[in-house]
Structure 1
């Protein structure tokens, strides 16, 4: 896949410590669009000592493949380093692979399973108890609900379209301000 040599098209908003989940989604999309995500997510194997049973052609292919992976990983690491604020950069500055930098970043800012579980529990409560305010337009309510649902999905919650429609219709039907032809 052809990519720009200067990496300018790989830019995303600078991460300053807030909204990690949304920032990471944007970064994943950029990495995927340039066929770098697998390196960031899975890493790559460092070349082992040469096996004398392999012929020279195989060794040459392995060396070339390793060089390509090292270059692509350096590009991915550069993108990660360039997309964090000066306050965040020291936390990843000593890592030499994109996977290591990404993993540390993810662990620190996304939180462990317990933290995500608590966040998800709060969002589920918000989803269940969010109601339309008096005089609130349906579009404003739908925007609030969409924000909650997107945050839930970011944390791994699976909500069916049927459940979302059911929630919205129940709330909308209970609101006398919504004309019946919109339901």
Structure 2
């Protein structure tokens, strides 16, 4: 995904000490993961408030801008470098990677169609299939549309190959309330079952 780039030392405004901060480098394919990592890095350094809600506190804003500049490519810095606040930079990067509302809606429609068509291949493992479901769910969440966990659970169970998993699916349907069962719980049960039938 994204490369982690070690930055130069930055003075932490709270302790007035020197600290080394590592920031993920944004590229064309890792925007969702980049936002998660940057949000965590900004929170650790007490600078997230400069972006949400958008405080214009001088030191927090400067620290947040410095961290953002370390994590975006030079070509993007040239485009957003004249913006005054970290929040404005964050929003500009977001707009560049997320697109306008129309583009966002189109991407959501494609993701929804992909989610609805999703089926586990006969040769695929539970882990591989879970990875595909999780990727679609994460992309959808990044576009502002969370997929409810019960919907993911039901989609997962109904997308498994019937010949191989019909017995466990029927048992889980009878024993569990799928509206209250977590995705991790269902995945754990199916992985245990998969190991048994593989043996």
Q: 2:116 aligns with which of 115, 119, 128?
A: 128
CA change 1:7–1:93 in 2 (3 A) is farther
Structure 2: which 5+ residue stretches go unaligned?
Answer: 1-12, 169-189, 194-199
CA change 1:5–1:106 in 2 (3 A) is farther
Q: Map residues 93-112 of structure 1 onto 2, 5 A cutoff.
A: 93-112=81-100
Q: 2:138 aligns with which of 147, 150, 155?
A: 150
Secondary structure in structure 2 of the residue aligned to 1:82: helix
Q: 2:46 aligns with which of 35, 43, 50?
A: 35
Q: Which has the larger radius of gyration?
A: 1
1:176 maps onto 2:188 in alignment:
no
Equivalenced residues, count = 158
CA change 1:94–1:17 in 2 (3 A) is farther
Structure 1: which 5+ residue stretches go unaligned?
Answer: 46-68
CA-to-aligned-CA distance 1:55-100 (integer Å, 9 cap, x gap): xxxxxxxxxxxxxx21121111000111112222211222232122
Question: Structure 1 stretches (4+) deviating beyond 6 angstroms?
Answer: none
Q: CA deviation at 1:180?
A: 3.4
Provide the residue aligned with 1:116 in structure 2. 104
Q: CA deviation at 1:18?
A: 3.2
